[in-house]
């Protein structure tokens, strides 16, 4: 099965999060890997959330990827979101870029290696729950010592010549607001609206996002280069500011008891991405001081980074040069991934993978078949480098 066909098969197996069930896609991959002669280990958690590992448990290199996707409504797509159709040099559907394409490329590289070599020089971990905080995914593999600190490459989508060596921090929170109910016809003269309090909290987030945090001098060139890549990808002028400031998304708002009642309760689920030069603890202190509600932290991680001189970075850049004929240049990213958990546990983790970054979490998600092959070839080159070939 070629890498595009494998990606297509994975996209067609639904694994949206929520609800988070990955059993079907994990068992499909287990069958495929066992067909290559590998022994797989599957761990299962509530809600049919499953993880898979294969290869030597003590290894110098870990390939890692998540198989859950964000949900997709069957509205606004040019093709059904779970069709996995291969057309015009693209694989289409939810997860094609984030990140079943990367998973397919890693598995394809392992298959190519096994055809010609006797021993696999890397471990593979395929996990659930990355799109919902990773509680049942990479966090469980770390708790159970199923994987051990080493060099790690995560198949998240990146620019084709640039491995990602750092991510902004993240805060995911639930803010709860209490109001004083009353007759809607008398507001704002009577009563306190919990919904209005939530809106005031969003205004605080806007204020925070206007501040630019100075980067460490050693990071300046890296952030400037990353800003150029970001502008090329999204076509948004001066988007480099997203790497130097807090960005936020008020994702879910729920509140109110009736259209004619001053709202007594309102809940806001929001996430913030935190730049280098700023700690999540300081941001939470500001939010608690300026908020009338209570804040529950659902997930939190400070910005993370590994040195560009680490072996996993230099070897990946050399593999990119070998496969693509173009210099590999590291960059840092605006989002977050399982890399934050791995780096905190001592792994030297980077990201490199195929995909159309503009389509992540949107309609018409897709990946180029040539990029799947290119990523597979880079991973194969890395296997050779870590095997000493």
Which pLDDT tens digit goes with each residue over 121-145?
999 999 999 999 899 999 999 999 9
pLDDT at position 386: 96
Which pLDDT tens digit goes with each residue over 232-269?
999 999 999 999 999 999 999 999 999 999 999 999 99
Phi/psi-derived region of residue 145, left when phi > 0, alpha when psi is between -120 and 50, beta in every other case = left
**Of the candidates 158, 122, 214, 105, the residue with the CA atom closest to the CA atom of residue 339:** 158
Alpha-carbon separation of residue 282 from 53, 102, 245, 270, 279 (angstroms): 37, 35, 14, 17, 5
For residues 162 and 326, is the Cβ–Cβ distance under 8 A? no
- Return all residues near 374 (Cβ < 8 A) that are at least 6 apart: 160, 323, 324, 354
Q: Say if residue 189 is exposed, middle or buried (CB neighbours under 10 Å; 0-12, 13-18, 19+).
A: exposed
For residues 333 and 351, is the Cβ–Cβ distance under 8 A? yes
Phi, psi of 229 (to 5 degrees): -60, -45
Please work out, in degrees rounded to the nearest 5, the angle formed at the alpha carbon of residue 170 by the alpha carbons of 81 and 341. 85
pTM of the model: 0.92
Confidence of residue 284 (pLDDT cuts 50, 70, 90): very high
Q: Which fold has domain 3-167+303-386?
A: Aminopeptidase (3.40.630)
The CA distance from 351 to 64, in Å, is 9
- What length does the chain have? 389
The CA distance from 217 to 223, in Å, is 10
Which pLDDT tens digit goes with each residue over 71-113?
999 999 999 999 999 999 999 999 999 999 999 999 999 999 9
pLDDT mean over 285-293: 96
Domain 169-211+246-301 has CATH 3.40.50.2300: no
Phi, psi of 329 (to 5 degrees): -130, 120
Which pLDDT tens digit goes with each residue over 358-378?
999 999 999 999 999 999 999
Q: Mean pLDDT for the chain?
A: 96
Does the pLDDT of residue 389 top 60, yes or no? no
Alpha-carbon separation of residue 303 from 158, 214, 268 (angstroms): 18, 14, 24
Domain ranges for the chain:
3-167+303-386, 169-211+246-301
């Amino acid at each position: 099965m070629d890498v595009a066909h494998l990606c297509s098969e994975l996209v067609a197996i639904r694994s949206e999060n929520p609800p988070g069930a990955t059993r079907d896609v994990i068992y499909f991959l287990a069958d495929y890997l066992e067909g290559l002669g590998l022994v797989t280990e599957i761990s299962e958690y509530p809600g049919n959330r499953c993880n898979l590992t294969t290869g030597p448990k003590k290894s110098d290199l870990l390939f890692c990827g998540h198989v859950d996707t964000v949900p997709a409504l069957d509205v606004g797509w040019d093709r059904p979101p779970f069709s996995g159709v291969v057309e015009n040099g693209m694989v289409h559907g939810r997860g094609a870029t984030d990140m079943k394409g990367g998973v397919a490329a890693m598995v394809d590289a392992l298959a190519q290696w096994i055809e010609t070599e006797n021993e696999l020089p890397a471990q593979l971990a395929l996990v659930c729950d990355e799109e919902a905080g990773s509680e049942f995914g990479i966090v469980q593999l770390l708790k159970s010592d199923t994987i051990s600190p080493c060099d790690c490459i995560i198949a998240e989508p990146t620019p084709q010549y640039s491995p990602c060596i750092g991510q902004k921090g993240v805060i995911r929170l639930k803010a709860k607001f209490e109001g004083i109910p009353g007759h809607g016809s008398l507001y704002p003269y009577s009563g306190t609206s919990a919904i209005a309090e939530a809106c005031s909290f969003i205004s605080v987030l806007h204020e925070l996002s206007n501040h630019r945090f100075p980067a460490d001098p050693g990071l300046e060139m890296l952030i400037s280069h990353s800003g150029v890549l970001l502008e090329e990808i999204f076509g948004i002028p001066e988007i480099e500011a997203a790497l130097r400031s807090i960005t936020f998304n008020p994702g879910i708002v729920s509140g109110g008891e009736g259209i004619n009642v001053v709202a007594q309760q309102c809940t806001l689920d929001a996430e913030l991405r935190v730049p280098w030069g700023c700690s999540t603890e300081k941001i939470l202190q500001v939010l608690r001081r300026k908020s009338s509600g209570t804040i529950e932290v659902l997930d939190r991680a400070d910005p993370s980074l590994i040195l560009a001189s680490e072996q996993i970075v230099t070897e990946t850049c050399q593999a990119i040069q070998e496969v693509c004929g173009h210099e590999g240049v590291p960059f840092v990213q605006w989002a977050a991934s399982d890399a934050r958990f791995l780096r905190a546990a001592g792994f030297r983790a980077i990201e490199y993978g195929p995909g159309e970054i503009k389509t992540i979490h949107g309609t018409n998600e897709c990946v180029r078949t040539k990029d799947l092959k290119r990523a597979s070839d880079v991973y194969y080159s890395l296997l050779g480098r870590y095997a000493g070939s």
